[in-house]
Amino acid sequence: MTPFLLVLSSPSGGGKTTIAKSLLQARDDLGYSVSATTRPARSGERDGVDYHFLTREAFLRRVEAGEFLEWATYGGNLYGTLRQEIERIFARGRTAVLDVEIEGARQLRASFPNSLHLFVLPPSAEVLVSRLTGRNSEPPAVLRERITRAADELAAVAEYDYAILNEDLVLAVAQVAAILDAEARRVSRQEGLTPFIDRLRRDVLAQAARIAGD
Ligand code: 5GP
């Protein structure tokens, strides 16, 4: 199969990171693209695992050096996907799972037209807000900005291939897994298909010739 990008987006608090982590735990055909960011680490977050935490200067230097496949500003901080992350995952023949906001997803669609884009929807405004406040990590002004931005982000769902309602985590993960399995069987994603079909046709014709000779 030709490796591809699985791009997950949702408003902050939509649950895409949790879905991505559960998927990664359950399957070994996926690799998580660890994003770079200039936002400070939340408690429990580890450098190189949850994010590559960079200073603004270091981030911009890497932008200049062309090291990012995409990058965007969110809440005053910079976030981006490093080319080396995707190369590392593809080199192992795995599908790359990316957790990016909408601007970044647009950039990825432009450079990887065969990427698969999923939008994760919160079941209600109350759930979205309670997930955000439950983190206890953002001051009220930042929280308000994230919630307001969520309303804009929800309008972008039409740009995505699939929408997943994240009411029940287990169900949402199963739905994403089912989509992944179906998409991996798309003819255009199966690079080994042409030689297999060529061989199969040759063998079928050989069988036909044998029957004709009987
Ligand atoms: P958070 O600060 O809550 O971890 O992430 C804020 C937003 O940045 C989320 O919508 C998340 O999907 C997005 N984000 C995380 N990594 C990247 C990235 O590499 N590129 C882009 N464009 N957005 C990202």
140: buried, middle or exposed (CB in 10 Å: 19+, 13-18, 0-12)?
exposed
Query: What percentage of the chain exceeds 70 in pLDDT?
Result: 99
Instruction: Identify the pLDDT of residue 146.
Output: 87
Higher pLDDT, 133 or 21: 21
The predicted-structure confidence for 79-137, as pLDDT tens digits, reads as follows 999 999 999 999 999 999 999 999 999 999 999 999 999 999 999 999 988 888 877 67
- Kindly give the distance from the C-alpha atom of residue 41 to the centroid of ligand 1, in angstroms, as a whole number: 13
List of residues 6+ apart from 23 with CB closer than 8 A: 30, 97, 173, 176, 177, 180
Q: How confident is the model at residue 12 (pLDDT cuts 50, 70, 90)?
A: confident
Mean pLDDT to the nearest integer, 48-55: 97
The answer to whether the beta carbons of residues 13 and 129 sit under 8 Å apart is yes
- Closest-CA residue, ligand 1 atom 3, reads 12
The predicted-structure confidence for 155-164, as pLDDT tens digits, reads as follows 999 999 999 9
Residue 72 predicted with pLDDT over 80: yes
Per-position b or e across 38-53, b if 16+ CB within 10 A of its CB: beeeeeeeeeeebbbb
Q: Measured in Å, how far apart are the chain's first and last C-alpha atoms?
A: 39
Mean pLDDT to the nearest integer, 124-151: 86
- Kindly give the distance from the C-alpha atom of residue 49 to the centroid of ligand 1, in angstroms, as a whole number: 14
**Can you tell me which residue has the tokens 């897994």?**
177
Instruction: Identify the pLDDT of residue 90.
Output: 95
Residue 57 predicted with pLDDT over 80: yes
In this structure, what token pair is assigned to residue 85? 């992350």
Q: Which of 22, 24, 49, 23 is nearest to 36 (CA)?
A: 49
As for ligand 1, residues whose beta carbon falls within 6 Å of it are 12, 35, 39, 70, 72, 74, 79-81, 99-101, 103-104
Q: How confident is the model at residue 39 (pLDDT cuts 50, 70, 90)?
A: very high
Q: Can you tell me the distance from the alpha carbon of 18 to that of 4, in angstroms, rounded to the nearest whole number?
A: 21
Domains of the chain (ranges; CATH) run 5-183 (3.40.50.300)
Q: How confident is the model at residue 214 (pLDDT cuts 50, 70, 90)?
A: low
Higher pLDDT, 3 or 175: 175
